[in-house]
Structure 1
């Protein structure tokens, strides 16, 4: 340890240390964007679990620390558990522990931002993603705050619930309310054990309990994105072939391809309009989905739910890289503006597409499209 302390005293090392948080932030976020954002592998789950465990151990030692002044070795604080271990932590080690907490929190935040963003299909669920982004950025400035056990415990409870909500469906091959509340209970239970070992005042538990309650309410009102489901592709068309999942779609212009204008589908009288969607889920995961059709009332300009379409065949069976394919159709559909949401059945929205139904032939003609 003397060697490390001597090394950290060098001017060059001190300069490098200042950039470590930024390097960790950019490196972790870039790695997550390139890997977890596309597909989740077993090694990703193992690495994220490792970050969670390192944060857990670091917070545990912060909670049960026996800190001494390095000059006179006078004990400042000591818990019952630390006295049993008869271990005194130099104050310099608290700096290392809080750095470990900050580093692990940063990597978990970056991964969760990517995963929850990919599964976010509504403004409400996107609000949760923005909240995680704010915490991801704020984490770079909270190192000293993490020295306080109550602060570390509160953020650890939030991260734990969001992480287990992402991890458990991969392990159980199922998702839903039961698994989300199980994630909440596991995270809160671990935080309670940390508090119990710390012998701190009961008010330390107020923040973790409040966070658990808020996240539970957010799940009930469908604000929590349905991780780990990800919409891969959505197509509105006609003349559908259910063997090849191909159909005739309006050829998109420049503005439509880049999302600056709504897609359109032109039809003749009696044509059926189809909405196809592919949703990615982890291998062996089974999750029911539904399509929610909204029509914009011309008199009010507001979208009104007209149909919720689901069936026994609309159950995602994960593992297909391009996503599990499903579709719904509408016959004798009136012209106008529509929005169709692909959603976890009776749950949060995974993705949505707005389009306009028109009569006649499209100016640029049709193109044969398919779900890949």
Structure 2
């Protein structure tokens, strides 16, 4: 009976998804627990995958009299498509992790989710990779996202200009592959559309500001220059609610200000100016309204402190209610955010405890 059940057509179809489901489940855990730093060797390995995928893509494009003066038999074509599948899967895997760690907004998470969908779908696209136009389109997407991660390590900076360079370089390489393949101009339509959509996504702050990673953040009061300050003590249930993502409270005395502290990791020589965006929730509409964007020269990342470069901003005359502060690249994408409730100190207010950012 068990054997008959396993041979059922529906079960057989479901079983095909087991490897991908197991892989994606393990990968999700790895994305959360992965190491803190990206080494030069990691960048070199990803570059190897990128170059290898280009080589195999060109080999798949071979046609008699047009490229390499030969066509591959079905056996070799299958080998090349498996190679493309492996290289693409490795790149998607690394990019999902890198962009996930730098995402601090819904739009950025949407892009990570899209990359994750392609990562899972990659397990089933081996035959599709035999189509040059399809492979070229995905290669352009991977190239742009990889170069956008690689270039900041090389030029020691991030910003729209360098993202534009990433888009131009990736599309230029795709154009070169297209010229060598001598395929129809239709092969460039999808890469061109993808490049345009990625530029729009960047301008909309949907592209995570890689390689910046938020390490720690909190709202507190009584801030000292040794990066210590006071937060409300949480009992077990309160601490559990904060751990699950619910907003903590911060009790302040009359006339006392609120300080927001962040720690942002950046590679050793990458310098970029950061900012804090202070939002207050409108009690009537329930929407957050931007009140202040605070930045300064001292909020420029320096060094490669593993726990992150520490910045802080202080706001006085803070009314009660729900607040949100975003840590972001100046004028760019959000690296992380935190919501909290401000309340006046009362007899029932939680006890204050000393806190220090890592």
**Same fold by TM-score greater than 0.5:** yes
Instruction: State the distance in 1 between where 2:106 and 2:26 align.
Output: 26
Q: What is residue 154 of structure 2 aligned with on the other side?
A: 171
Aligned partner of 2:126 in structure 1 is: 143
* Alignment pair present for 1:343 and 2:325: no
Query: Which residue pairs with 2:230 in the alignment?
Result: 248
Q: 1:129 aligns with which of 112, 126, 132?
A: 112
Structure 1 Cα separation of the partners of residues 181 and 216 of structure 2: 49
Alignment of 1:265-344 (within 5 A): 265-344=250-329
Aligned residues of 1:230 and 1:280 also touching (Cα < 8 A): yes
Q: 1:214-260 CA distances to partner (integer Å, 9 max, x unpaired)?
A: 00011011111111111000011011111x11101112323333134
SS at match of 1:339: strand
Residue 231 (1) aligns with residue 214 (2)? yes
- Is the contact between residue 288 and residue 314 of structure 1 (CA under 8 Å) also seen in structure 2? yes
**Deviation at 1:364?**
3.7
| 1:368 and 2:354 correspond | yes
1:98–1:181: structure 2 CA closer, same or farther, 3 Å change rule? same
Are the equivalent residues in 1 in contact too, given 2:20–2:120 (CA < 8 A)? no
Q: Deviations over 1:153-197 (max 9, x none)?
A: 000000000000011101111110111000000100000000000
How far residue 371 of structure 1 moved from its aligned partner, in angstroms, is 1.2
The CA distance in 2 between the partners of 1:301 and 1:284, in whole Å, is 41
Long gaps (5+) in structure 2: 1-15
Counterparts of residues 192-207 of structure 1 (less than 5 Å): 192-207=175-190
SS at match of 1:95: helix
Q: Does 1:61 pair with 2:62?
A: no
8 Å contact 1:37–1:115 — kept in the other structure? no
Normalising by structure 1, we get a TM-score of 0.86
Following TM superposition, by how much is the alpha carbon of 1:30 offset from its aligned partner in structure 2, in angstroms? 7.7
Distance 1:23 1:138 in 2: 11
Shift of 1:90: 2.7
Q: For the residues of structure 1 that align with 2:324 and 2:205, how far apart are their CA atoms? A: 18
Shift of 1:146: 0.1
Distance 1:42 1:156, change over 3 A: same
Instruction: Give the aligned length.
Output: 339
Deviations 1:336-357, CA, capped at 9 Å, x for gaps: 1000000010001000000000
**Displacement, 1:91?**
2.2
Q: Aligned pair 1:352/2:337, yes or no? A: yes
1:153–1:191 Cα contact (<8 Å) kept: yes
Which of the numbers 250, 258, 261 marks the counterpart of 2:243?
A: 258
Q: How does 1:1-150 map to 2 (within 5 A)?
A: 29=27, 33=31, 38-63=36-61, 65=62, 77-83=63-69, 87-150=70-133
- Contact 1:248/1:366, CA 8 A, preserved across alignment: yes
Match of 1:187 among 162, 165, 170: 170
Alignment CA distance shift 1:26-1:293 (3 Å): closer
CA distance 1:33–1:124, shift in 2 (3 Å): closer
- Structure 2: distance between partners of 1:226 and 1:196: 33
Whole-Å separation in 1 of the counterparts to 2:263 and 2:24: 31
Shift of residue 88, structure 1, vs aligned partner: 4.9
Return the offset for 1:50: 1.1
Root-mean-square deviation (Å): 2.3
TM norm structure 2 = 0.89
Gap regions ≥5 residues in structure 1: 1-17, 66-76
SS state of the match for residue 297, structure 2?
coil
